[in-house]
Amino acid sequence: MNTLKPKLFSCMKNYSKQQLVKDLTAGVIVAIIALPLSIALALASGVDPEQGLYTAIVAGFVISFLGGSRVQIAGPTAAFATIVAGVVAKNGFSGLVLATVIAGILLIIMGLFKLGSLIKFIPYTITTGFTTGIAITLVIGQLKDFLGLTFTHSPIETIEKVEEVIKCIGTFNYEAFIIGAVSLAVLIITPKFIKKIPPSLFAIVISAALVKIFDMNVNTIGDLYTISSALPKITLPEFSLETVSAILPDAFTIAVLAAVESLLSCVVADGMTGSRHNSNMELVAQGAGNIASALFGGIPATGAIARTAANIKNGGRTPVAGMVHAVVLLAVLVVLMPYASLIPMPTIAAILFVVAYNMSEWREFVSIVKHAPKSDTLVLLVTFVLTVVFDLVVAIIVGIILATVMFMKRMSDVTDAYGWKEIDESSDDQHIRLKVIPEGAMVYEITGPIFFGVSQKIADAIRRSDKKVLVLRMRSVPAIDATGIHTFETIIKTCKKNGSTLIMSHVNEQPMNVLKKSGMYEEIGEENFCEHIDAALERAKEILA
């Protein structure tokens, strides 16, 4: 699992005709699902509709070819929509291309340096918070088209969009609302009766027919965009230090979000197939896919959980299915793309409403609020609010800082240092109360990791002792950090000043290695390191005698 080898190469060793048929079938079905989603997500991202297909074609093929997962389907996702729209509004499409290329380079570096496993250290409360926040921003961004409103300004921030919706509610178009409502009803009801055909295709066909037949005053994609069926062409970004410094935070956001979402999708896929992905190879593939997507006129891409699940359910078990999905979309781009001009904008909004609902994780959100500790709920709510009010970068940074502070608080609560003679006689620990501590000695039990959040607490507890022998029982200390080393230096100095001897009992591997590297092992003395508390108490008797 540590080698950077694409899954495609290992899958080809035992590839069969039967699996080829399954992969071809799954690839075609996933392409049909991805077609309307790619167009809708491109429009939500503030770019032309064909650029969503460019992304699914180029990034989808490259990521399947190089990826660390057997079944991952990559393409544009809802998580990127508001971020991409903001970058395009601020820096233009050329700025987005540069940001995506830099994000791709960052992803490749993350994979090469084996950082794939570090993604698991992002708390679930943070991923749930920003995922739900992104879903809310996506819904708010589609209210204009769903209600048929005419904006006087083109707001970028989510709160500004809410203000503009309220301000322009007088331009409400009931015909657009009817088409949006019908499309939403089709999207919700159709899957209950028809499983094989994506409900978005039904919604597009029915709504386009209604607008055409009844000549309704509803904007279509063709009214707002010029539809192109041209093949993607290489687009080189405009490079300058000023531009790079301006889009670097956006590039970082794209890289982190692509890494998190793609690896979460891989984990879900592993659970459905019983296989195991290579996280580092997947990051390299995501980086290469995003660079290729940007250079060919696409937008950021990552693993799409819903499309990956559809691939698995329809028999896809190798990266060939993802590559077939890309080739089918390429054929659709060339042959059928002009018909996309007939799709009503309220239908696109309705499709994105359903996408936002499916990605929102609202059940998990509610469950955390109801059942999780207050500190986790605080991290969740802060990340959610900051995602909606500000942006994802601020939300993730603040969320991680807050989660880290809360974690340190919990660790400091469970880490303690207490003297055995301070234990209440009603203690349940009979073993401790039966030990005979020599007169002139004091035993301190330290529990939990010794790190910067609790070191002072431990030092203060031990510093009060005036005994000639000080025994530190360390069996419940798994680790020590640099501040913990400083604490031990302080304890040793205090013992020397008071003429006391320090004895260490049951020191675990990591603390022992730290003490040896710091030179404190020799300073304390090898003879004063005991395997267990009985040996430590015998050593205390020898010293006192």
Backbone angles phi, psi at 405, to 5 degrees: -60, -45
Distance CA 142, CA 139 (A): 5
> CB neighbours of 442 closer than 8 A, spacing ≥ 6?
419, 420, 421, 465, 467, 469, 470, 471
Closest CA to 311 of 100, 63, 39, 48: 63
The model scores a pTM over 0.85: no
Q: Are residues 384 and 425 in the same domain?
A: no
Helices (H), 67-198: 78-112, 124-147, 158-167, 174-189
Q: Are 360 and 90 in contact (CB under 8 A)?
A: no
In a domain? residue 208? yes
CA–CA distance, 383 with 391 (Å, rounded to integer) = 10
Same domain, 372 and 435: no
Paired sense of beta strands 416-419 and 501-505, if any? unpaired
| Pair 422, 278 in one domain | no
Q: Which residues pair with 441 in a beta bridge?
A: 469
Mark which of 361, 382, 403 sits at the end of a domain: 403
pLDDT by residue for the chain (545 residues), tens only, comes to 458 899 999 999 889 999 999 999 999 999 999 999 999 999 999 999 999 999 999 999 999 999 999 999 999 998 899 899 989 998 999 999 999 999 999 999 999 999 888 776 788 899 899 889 999 999 999 999 999 999 988 887 889 999 999 999 999 999 999 999 999 999 999 999 888 788 999 999 999 999 999 999 999 999 998 888 888 889 888 788 888 998 999 999 999 999 999 998 998 899 889 889 999 999 999 999 999 999 999 999 999 988 999 999 889 999 999 999 999 999 999 998 889 999 999 999 999 999 999 888 899 999 999 998 899 999 999 999 999 998 777 888 899 899 988 888 888 887 777 777 544 444 445 455 557 888 888 898 888 888 877 777 777 777 777 789 999 999 999 999 888 898 888 888 888 888 899 999 999 999 999 999 999 999 999 999 999 999 999 999 999 98
- 348, 371, 403 — which closes off a domain? 403
**Is residue 2 a part of any domain in this protein?**
no
Residues 279 and 306 in one domain: yes
Show the domain range for 473: 416-544
**Do residues 478 and 519 both lie within one domain?**
yes
Helices 49-66, 17-44: axis angle to 10 degrees equals: 140
CA distances from 241 to 83, 341, 396 (A): 22, 39, 26
Measured between alpha carbons, how far apart are the two ends of the chain, in Å?
57
12 within domain boundaries: no
For the chain, how many structural domains are there in total? 2
Residues 224 and 352 in one domain: yes
Convert 188-252 into a string of H (helix), E (strand) and C (coil): HHHHHCCCCCCHHHHHHHHHHHHHHHCCCCCCEHHHHCCCCCCCCCCCCCCCCHHHHHHHHHHHH
The verdict on residue 432 lying in a domain is yes
List the 416-419 sheet strands across, edge first: 416-419, 441-447, 469-476, 501-505, 529-530
Please check whether residue 20 lies inside any domain of the structure. no
Examine the domain organization and report whether 450 and 380 are in the same domain.
Answer: no
Last residue of a domain, which of 347, 371, 403? 403
Same domain as 442, residue 383 = no
Q: Is residue 533 part of a domain?
A: yes
Using CA atoms, how far residue 88 sits from 21, 45, 47, 176, 244, in Å, is: 41, 8, 8, 27, 14
Task: Give yes or no: residues 250 and 272 share one domain.
Answer: yes
Residues 131, 184: Cα–Cα separation, whole Å: 22
CATH number of the domain within which 500 lies: 3.30.750.24
Q: Do 331 and 470 fall into the same domain?
A: no
385, 357 Cβ separation under 8 angstroms: no
On whether residue 394 sits in a domain, the answer given is: yes
379 in any annotated domain: yes
Mapping DSSP to helix (H, G, I), strand (E, B) and coil, where does residue 428 land? coil
| 146-175 b/e (C-beta count within 10 Å ≥ 16 → b) | bbbbeeeeebebbeebeebbeebeeeebeb
